[in-house]
């Protein structure tokens, strides 16, 4: 077993033993006998001793959660400067001045400086303002890929970017039912996770540190050996990877290949799971870069390349003021459709009142729009700046008074009506969504109209709209045919699976998969589901104490039980079409990740559902717990393929996956 194989085995054992401990101490159940735990634990200790490598969250360390009242501050030994920026590849070529460079992702998270002494992680400090950062050492010990101990026993200082992947960001947001309370982007979530006072919060957020700079490596009297890096980034990166660090993806480049290398990264953006806002170019010759010195603001050894945003000019036609369940009212710009980065765009969030004021928006203004990081539509400028847009003084949902609240960062618009039906409307949106009751034609605007007219107060009212048929037909945008279509859609949706109704109730933490598991456990019997106790729920694989407590607390409320029962009376529950419990569970205990284009399945969701029907699990990112990565392009250099290669996860094609499916499941 070579050293890399041993390190991968350490990571696998750490994950397995931590899972076993968490399940035992937090959920009161076992996933392995004590004798197996002891065997794996001893194997882990031996491997850690042999390699000198140990993850920060290794069970051999018994690290606990050390909750503090505030983060200590610390001054950096050397100021951490920002980088000069350009959007021109030609300027980068001029900047290289005939030298060889290294090109890497410019990651969008929170920069940390991490120090090791005697092979152990001793300190982690955020970038802060560049001169003074916050000490986050207790939290860094729970970064999922950061070694707690490394083979090198001298003093080592590295810089890296703490990040949360898009997959984990989406997963965390999906668990938050209140859309207004969801995190805006992975960077904000990561910053809050790294700077937590309670490390137990950090530990559940899947924060990773991706290293981009070796600041210094110093020997000690006992261990004076420091590798000869040959004045080369490539040597440094190779050595850091051997120490067990995850190093930023990089390519070595020069004037002849730079534009092709930039294009390589650009094409990877749609599938790259780590937030990035550009690239960084540095001189491969480290000493040469240092010899160039610095300006007052920037080092001359490296430069940032920002994506050249494709912009389009269009006309602002409207602002939709969207009320949320918290009372916050967000402006959304509606403009003449334009093509950006290969897609048609006609809407963009304006975020808050401050931006409306800053851009001096007015209906009919000529604006320029772009996709931030080539993904999110934004307004870049207002060319006419009429400033004619009035901030509404009444809520678009209830008509109640609004108030602009200003703090040090932004001005936000709120509805003051405590009884505003916006919260109710948002609840109806979830209940009528595709994964819940799936009532066709019930958009948020239609729900607002129905609520505003008093036609719906509770979920059960959705199935009594025939009482208001004539009145609905008179609403703006409706007619007799539209009213009939809506009523018929509700009637068709009334035949549904129990788990869809349970999911639609918006029980905190209970997503679609959790609702399926719970309903299946209690044989899809409503009375048994709503009366389930904590212990019974925790017998379900995948249901922990937090979710169990949330579920039982919801149905302990008499009002929630009444609303649920009255809705259930309007529905006829059918067998879950996706619950093929008679199918052989050939994927039981197996975890799959799907990436790239599919040929035999219409989309990834279809393939994921089949995996679940056969007892498996489909996730969004490759980890040591992944059993198979499905990718028709096995030679792809995607991040998922590279991670799979590092972890020894088999990459299989779609056809190979289909061969694993039993005959009786292929026609389901």
**Phi-psi sector, 368: left (phi>0), alpha (psi -120 to 50), beta:** beta
Distance between CA 572 and CA 597 in Å, rounded? Answer: 38
Distance between CA 54 and CA 10 in Å, rounded? Answer: 7
Among 6, 39, 49, 106, the active-site one is 106
Largest Cα–Cα separation, the chain: 90
Distance between CA 236 and CA 308 in Å, rounded? Answer: 30
Catalytic-residue membership of 49: no
Distance between CA 509 and CA 175 in Å, rounded? Answer: 5
**Phi-psi sector, 206: left (phi>0), alpha (psi -120 to 50), beta:** left
The answer to whether 20 and 37 are in contact (CB under 8 A) is yes
Please enumerate in sequence order all residues whose Cβ is within 8 A of that of 20, keeping only pairs 6 or more positions apart, or say none.
30, 31, 32, 37
Distance between CA 145 and CA 15 in Å, rounded? Answer: 11
Question: What does the buried/exposed string (b/e) look like for 647-664 if buried means 16 or more CB atoms within 10 Å of the residue's CB?
Answer: bebebbebeebbebbeee
Whose structure tokens read 């290969």?
Answer: 342
Instruction: Using alpha carbons, select from 610, 583, 611, 577 the residue that is nearest to residue 497.
Output: 577
> Count of residues for the chain?
668
In this structure, the strands spanning 328-340 and 312-323 are antiparallel
Distance between CA 427 and CA 505 in Å, rounded? Answer: 8
What is the DSSP track for 24-65? HHHHS--SS-HHHHHHHHHHHHHHHHHH--EETT-TTS----
Q: Give the number of C-alpha atoms closer than 13 A to the C-alpha of residue 652, restricted to the C-beta side.
A: 15
- Name the percent of the chain in helix, strand, coil, to the closest 5: 35, 25, 40
Rounded to 5 degrees, what are φ and ψ at 619?
-125, 175
In this structure, the strands spanning 366-372 and 312-323 are antiparallel
Whose structure tokens read 């334009």?
Answer: 338
Question: What does the buried/exposed string (b/e) look like for 476-515 if buried means 16 or more CB atoms within 10 Å of the residue's CB?
Answer: eebeeeebeebbebbeebbebbbbbbbbbbbbebbebebb
Catalytic amino acids? 106
């Amino acid at each position: 077993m070579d050293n890399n194989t041993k390190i991968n085995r350490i990571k696998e054992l750490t994950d397995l033993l931590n899972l076993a401990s968490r399940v035992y101490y937090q959920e009161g159940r076992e996933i392995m006998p004590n004798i197996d735990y002891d065997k794996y634990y001893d194997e882990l200790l031996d491997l850690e001793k042999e390699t000198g490598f140990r993850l920060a969250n290794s069970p051999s360390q018994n690290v606990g959660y050390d909750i503090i009242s505030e983060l200590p501050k610390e001054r950096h030994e050397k100021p951490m400067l920002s980088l000069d920026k350009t959007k021109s590849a030609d300027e980068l070529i001029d900047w290289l001045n005939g030298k060889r460079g290294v090109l890497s992702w410019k990651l969008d998270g929170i920069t940390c400086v991490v120090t090791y002494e005697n092979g152990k992680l001793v300190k982690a400090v955020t970038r802060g303002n560049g001169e003074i950062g916050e000490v986050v050492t207790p939290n860094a010990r729970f970064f999922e890929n950061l070694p707690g101990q490394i083979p090198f026993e001298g003093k080592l200082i590295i810089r890296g970017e703490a990040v949360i992947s898009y997959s984990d960001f989406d997963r965390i947001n999906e668990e938050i039912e209140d859309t207004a309370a969801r995190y805006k982007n992975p960077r904000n979530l990561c910053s809050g996770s790294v700077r937590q006072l309670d490390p137990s919060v950090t530990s559940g957020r899947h924060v990773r540190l991706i290293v981009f700079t070796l600041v210094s490596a110093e020997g000690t009297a006992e261990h004076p050996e420091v590798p000869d890096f040959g004045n080369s980034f490539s040597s440094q990166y190779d050595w850091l990877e051997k120490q067990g660090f995850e190093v930023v993806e990089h390519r070595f480049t020069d004037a002849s290949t730079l534009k092709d290398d930039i294009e390589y990264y650009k094409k990877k953006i749609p599938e790259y799971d780590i937030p990035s806002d550009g690239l960084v170019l540095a001189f491969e010759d480290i000493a040469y870069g240092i010899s160039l010195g610095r300006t007052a603001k920037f080092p001359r050894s490296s430069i940032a390349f920002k994506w050249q945003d494709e912009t389009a000019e269009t006309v602002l036609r409207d602002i939709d003021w969207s009320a949320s369940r918290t009372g916050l009212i967000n402006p959304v710009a509606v403009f003449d459709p334009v093509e950006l980065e290969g897609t048609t765009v006609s809407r963009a969030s304006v975020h808050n009142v401050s931006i409306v004021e800053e851009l001096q928006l007015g209906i009919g203004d000529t604006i320029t729009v772009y996709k931030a990081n080539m993904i999110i539509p934004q307004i870049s400028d207002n060319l006419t700046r009429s400033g004619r847009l009035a901030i509404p003084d009444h809520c678009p949902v209830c008509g109640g008074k609004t108030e602009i609240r200003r703090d040090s960062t932004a001005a936000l618009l709120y509805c003051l009506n405590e009884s505003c039906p916006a919260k109710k409307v948002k609840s109806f949106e979830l209940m009528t969504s595709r994964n819940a009751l799936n009532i066709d034609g019930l958009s948020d605007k239609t729900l607002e109209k129905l609520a505003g007219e008093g036609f719906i107060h509770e979920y059960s009212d959705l199935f009594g709209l025939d009482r208001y048929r004539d009145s609905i037909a008179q609403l703006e945008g409706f007619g007799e045919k539209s009213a009939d279509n809506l009523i018929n859609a509700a009637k068709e949706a009334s035949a549904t699976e129990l788990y869809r109704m349970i999911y639609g109730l918006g029980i905190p933490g209970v997503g679609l998969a959790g609702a399926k598991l719970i309903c299946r456990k209690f044989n899809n019997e409503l009375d048994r589901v709503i009366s389930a106790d904590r212990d019974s729920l925790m017998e379900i694989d995948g249901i922990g104490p937090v979710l169990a407590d949330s579920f039982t607390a919801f149905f302990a409320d008499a009002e929630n039980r009444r609303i649920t029962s009255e809705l259930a009376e309007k529905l006829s529950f059918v067998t879950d079409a996706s619950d093929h419990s008679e199918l052989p569970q050939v994927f039981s205990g197996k975890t799959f990740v799907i990436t790239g284009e599919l040929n035999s399945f219409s989309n990834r969701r279809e393939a994921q559902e089949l995996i679940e029907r056969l007892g498996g699990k489909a996730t969004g990112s490759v980890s040591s717990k992944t059993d198979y990565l499905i990718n028709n392009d096995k030679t792809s250099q995607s991040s998922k393929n590279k991670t799979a290669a590092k972890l020894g996860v088999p990459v299989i094609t779609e056809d190979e996956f289909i061969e694993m499916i039993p005959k009786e499941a292929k026609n389901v």
